[in-house]
Structure 1
Amino acid sequence: MTPPAFRFIDLFAGIGGFHAALKAMGGECVYAVEIDPLARKVYESNWGHSALGANDRGDITLDADADRGVMEVPEHDVLCAGFPCQPFSKSGAQRGMDEARGTLFFNIASIIKARHPLIVILENVRNLIGPKHQHEWDVIIETLQDEGYHVSNQAAVFSPHLLPPHLGGVPQVRERVFITATLAPDLVARDIEFGGPGPVATMTDRFPSAEGATGLFDPKKDWHLEGLLDDSHNIPGCDLTDAETHWINAWEEFVQIMRPLMNDRHLPGHPIWADAWLDFPEMKRIDWQARKIRVPRRVSRPVVDSDLPDWKQSHLRKNHDMFARHFAAIIPWAHRWGIYSEAFPASRRKLEWQAQETKSLWHTVMHFRPSGIRAKKATYLPALVAITQTSIVGPRERRLSPRETARLQGLPDSFIFPGQSAAATYKQMGNGVNVGAVWHIFRAHVDRDANILRRTARGRAIVAAVEKAPLRPNEILAKHQPAHS
């Protein structure tokens, strides 16, 4: 058996997105920890590796705590962590590891301080670099620098939809922050002075459309969902309810009514609020429960409250403009479908059309959101989330299946979720890290810091593994066999 090119640990492991990428790259997992028992079961069933850590709870705080002198994590070359980010203390003037105390990052820092792996890769939601978390960001970077790591003070923000298929991309907009660092104490002083190296990836990165091609892949035009989706319209648990079908059919008719009235142009980009039309006094006089109604000959434009936020005033005026021009068609449509009845909750009386020239609502990808029914072109999908906003694929007239969401995260069809509900799988996919994105970030980081890594035998082994690896992990992962079902 070929010895592993490097050893890695998998913290807050979930179902193993990091594991999938780094194992395919030639690494061996020597420690994994995940506190959620359902995710842990999926991890262990697929990878044949315990995700309990060194305790019986999957609790990293029991295995790594510098304050208590606890270190149960073995030596390793690469540390991976898709960690939760809690607010750090801002009391006093202390910075770095001391301020992370009481958070899960403190336990990561405890491992780094004790083991000093060659490479650290941290992943988090984009909000980590938002203004509300500047303090947390500074603490993380300064902690890494204090421990001798060559790290950029700029975030590497990346999404797998930017990568073309030949590089392991998938049609999912999933912007995530990656912090990548290489052990190089001699470079830290210069990094602190000049800001460190550039980030290994950005949202403006573009790639060849195919291997050896001169043209660039355009994520807005070149993605298509058909290769991801199963052909079936009937997948158990993914069908729409009668109410959901009614809401879509109603707004579909609205789209077809409005297109010729707007000279076959696409619907406006502003949110369409049916409740805003009730501001017209003529609408208030209609008995919406009657079998027949009379459409007024003219309507009186309402006044928008100037005390409302500017954005809301703007949306209201645009909705009033639309209604004033097309009320003769809108009113019969609203009555016919019962828009102002109990059949339509307030959030379903709103349409957010972001599908440009798409001809039909049933040709889009939809989300039922508190802000309304959002419709997008059926090219790439918004990020999977760990709540109930599973994408509705109009051409299939159903929701994405759990298997399709796994494909969106770069997992092979042989990956199993033994004995668990679809809801649990959706949650795990929403919380997971995309395999293709990890593959790209790890490769880009090793390429950037190759000269530093080549200083040691362990580092040279990592560089060699990356250099001989394929451009994407898909064919390697296609050979995946679950450890046990």
Structure 2
Amino acid sequence: MFESSGTGDSMGEAAGFRYADLFAGIGGFAAVLEALGAEHVYSVEIDRHASAVYRRNWGRDPYGDVTEDASEDVMKVGEHDLLAAGFPCQPFSKSGAQKGMDEIRGTLFFNIMEVLQAHHPTLVVLENVRNLAGPRHTHEWEVIIERLRTEGYQVSETSAVFSPHQIAPEFGGFPQVRERVFITATLVPDGHVADPHVRPVVLPSHVRMTREWDLAEDLPLDDSHHVPGTDLSVAEVTWIDHWDTWVQFMNALRVSDADAAGEPARRLPGFPVWSHVWVSSQSERQAMLSPDGVPVPSWKKNFLLKNWDLYDRIRQVDPAWLRTWLAKTRTFPESRQKLEWQAQDETSLWNCVLSFRPSGIRAKRMTHLPALVAITQTPVLGPRDRRL
């Protein structure tokens, strides 16, 4: 592999470098690059509110439209050595329609290429959601890699995916799962040949988190159960309490089964628990497997069969308790009749981080937070009886 001619111990200690910041947000890339001693050349962000935060952080206003500043006809981006771009993720995110480059936001990568063709900076750092490198967007991934290589850049076709929870706190890590794919491309100097087997960037071992996060200590969380604006509604408390009675029932059942068998107790079901499909009638079950005569996908059939097995097992143990519990459950919205238990050996929902999702109430251990989805699914901190 070719090497740079810099003599410093880091990029910042080399002779200094200039950077351009596309899709700048509130300045995540700027924070790192400025700390490395980089000189700002250009930044742009189309969201007015993010731009206002960026201006407060860095003393310059990036508000603008990259399609008006970097195109076949216009180039307002100045010469620079490093280009950073967290281009829009909505076209590639699992939370969206996943139209990729079939929608306008998915084509903004080509404005990045306009900048590269004009200035050929030495290093390019691109960031997006992990799903960009997933099977749904194989075509887009291949286009990005091929265009970069055609323009003279060395880049790995293997994705590099990182999340804050994988990184030790002294290196900026944080107890939140937020997986992102990073594409790093290096300009091949004239007279050199690109490495045909480029390896993706990996986290060095000394940077990796080696212990389990603890939200109470690592955020840290205050001890108050009454922080303004974070209280749970009466309905939310009802849903949690009601499902917690099911968790307690299942815990007692699994311990009893374990004692009888002389084996360790099994964990609660890891598949989605769908109480809204708990019916005993074979005709009703068959109708769910083939609504309107069309068989459901295999993944859904698998979940339905597992749920009916679970229902039948509970029904055999205590049918009276189940009838009473299920009657109340059926008064909840359908999404609150579902539970996604991902908390391993925890013993209560109130010990967990909870998320009210369309797919159900999701429970995780208090070791890290899920990705915050546009502030609509702010996690509930069970031990604090409130939201984050």
SS for the counterpart of 1:262 is helix
Contact 1:64 1:72 in 2 (8 A): yes
Q: 2:130 aligns with which of 126, 133, 140?
A: 126
Q: 1:74 aligns with which of 78, 86, 98?
A: 78
2:140, 2:287 → 1: CA distance?
45
Contact 1:393 1:399 in 2 (8 A): yes
Q: How many residues align?
A: 349
Structure 1, unpaired ranges of 5+: 53-57, 90-99, 210-215, 285-300, 401-485
1:355, 1:12 → 2: CA distance?
36
Give the structure 2 partner of residue 391 of structure 1: 379
1:7, 1:206 → 2: CA distance?
26
TM-superposed CA distance for 1:4, in Å, is 8.8
2:65, 2:199 → 1: CA distance?
34
Tell me: CA distance 1:331–1:122, structure 2 relative to 1, closer, same or farther (3 Å).
farther
Give the structure 1 partner of residue 44 of structure 2: 33
1:399, 1:305 → 2: CA distance?
37
Structure 2, unpaired ranges of 5+: 1-12, 92-99, 256-264
Give the structure 1 partner of residue 272 of structure 2: 271
Q: 1:245 aligns with which of 237, 245, 250?
A: 237
2:165, 2:240 → 1: CA distance?
27
1:372, 1:47 → 2: CA distance?
41
TM-superposed CA distance for 1:37, in Å, is 0.7
TM-superposed CA distance for 1:31, in Å, is 1.5
Contact 1:40 1:51 in 2 (8 A): yes
Q: For residues 46-101 of structure 1, what are the alpha-carbon distances to aligned partners after superposition, in whole Å with 9 as ceiling and x for unaligned?
A: 2212112xxxxx11111111x21x11112222111000266447xxxxxxxxxx99
Contact 2:124 2:186 in 1 (8 A): yes
SS for the counterpart of 1:252 is helix
Tell me: CA distance 1:184–1:245, structure 2 relative to 1, closer, same or farther (3 Å).
same
1:385, 1:240 → 2: CA distance?
18
Give the structure 1 partner of residue 228 of structure 2: 236
TM-superposed CA distance for 1:274, in Å, is 1.1
2:245, 2:21 → 1: CA distance?
50
1:365, 1:281 → 2: CA distance?
35
Q: 1:22 aligns with which of 24, 33, 37?
A: 33
Q: For residues 415-456 of structure 1, what are the alpha-carbon distances to aligned partners after superposition, in whole Å with 9 as ceiling and x for unaligned?
A: xxxxxxxxxxxxxxxxxxxxxxxxxxxxxxxxxxxxxxxxxx
AA matched with 2:56? S
TM-score under structure 1 length normalisation:
0.66
Give the structure 1 partner of residue 357 of structure 2: 369
1:120, 1:161 → 2: CA distance?
24
Give the structure 2 partner of residue 459 of structure 1: none
SS for the counterpart of 1:45 is helix
Tell me: CA distance 1:206–1:145, structure 2 relative to 1, closer, same or farther (3 Å).
closer
1:153 aligns with 2:153: no
1:12 aligns with 2:27: no
1:187, 1:319 → 2: CA distance?
63
Contact 1:7 1:27 in 2 (8 A): yes
1:318, 1:134 → 2: CA distance?
32
> Which runs of structure 2 are paired with 1:282-293 in the superposition (5 Å)?
none
Tell me: CA distance 1:322–1:341, structure 2 relative to 1, closer, same or farther (3 Å).
closer
1:240, 1:384 → 2: CA distance?
17
SS for the counterpart of 1:222 is coil
Tell me: CA distance 1:3–1:132, structure 2 relative to 1, closer, same or farther (3 Å).
closer
2:153, 2:105 → 1: CA distance?
20
2:31, 2:105 → 1: CA distance?
31
1:115 aligns with 2:119: yes
Contact 2:330 2:337 in 1 (8 A): no
Contact 1:150 1:187 in 2 (8 A): no
Tell me: CA distance 1:189–1:235, structure 2 relative to 1, closer, same or farther (3 Å).
same
> Which runs of structure 2 are paired with 1:328-343 in the superposition (5 Å)?
329=318, 331-332=320-321, 335=324, 339-342=328-331
SS for the counterpart of 1:173 is coil
AA matched with 2:205? F
2:228, 2:172 → 1: CA distance?
29
1:312 aligns with 2:300: yes
Give the structure 2 partner of residue 345 of structure 1: 333
Tell me: CA distance 1:21–1:190, structure 2 relative to 1, closer, same or farther (3 Å).
closer
> Which runs of structure 2 are paired with 1:90-105 in the superposition (5 Å)?
103-105=107-109
Give the structure 2 partner of residue 207 of structure 1: 205
Tell me: CA distance 1:151–1:332, structure 2 relative to 1, closer, same or farther (3 Å).
same
Tell me: CA distance 1:31–1:4, structure 2 relative to 1, closer, same or farther (3 Å).
farther
Tell me: CA distance 1:311–1:143, structure 2 relative to 1, closer, same or farther (3 Å).
closer
AA matched with 1:62? E
SS for the counterpart of 1:169 is coil
Tell me: CA distance 1:206–1:8, structure 2 relative to 1, closer, same or farther (3 Å).
closer
Q: For residues 153-191 of structure 1, what are the alpha-carbon distances to aligned partners after superposition, in whole Å with 9 as ceiling and x for unaligned?
A: 222122221112232211122221111112224477544
SS for the counterpart of 1:172 is coil
1:182, 1:365 → 2: CA distance?
41
Greater relative CO (CA pairs within 8 A, separation 6+): 1
Contact 1:304 1:317 in 2 (8 A): no
Give the structure 1 partner of residue 178 of structure 2: 174
Percentage identity across paired residues of the two chains:
53
1:80, 1:316 → 2: CA distance?
46
1:225 aligns with 2:231: no
TM-superposed CA distance for 1:34, in Å, is 0.7
TM-score under structure 2 length normalisation:
0.81
RMSD: 3.0
Tell me: CA distance 1:4–1:253, structure 2 relative to 1, closer, same or farther (3 Å).
farther
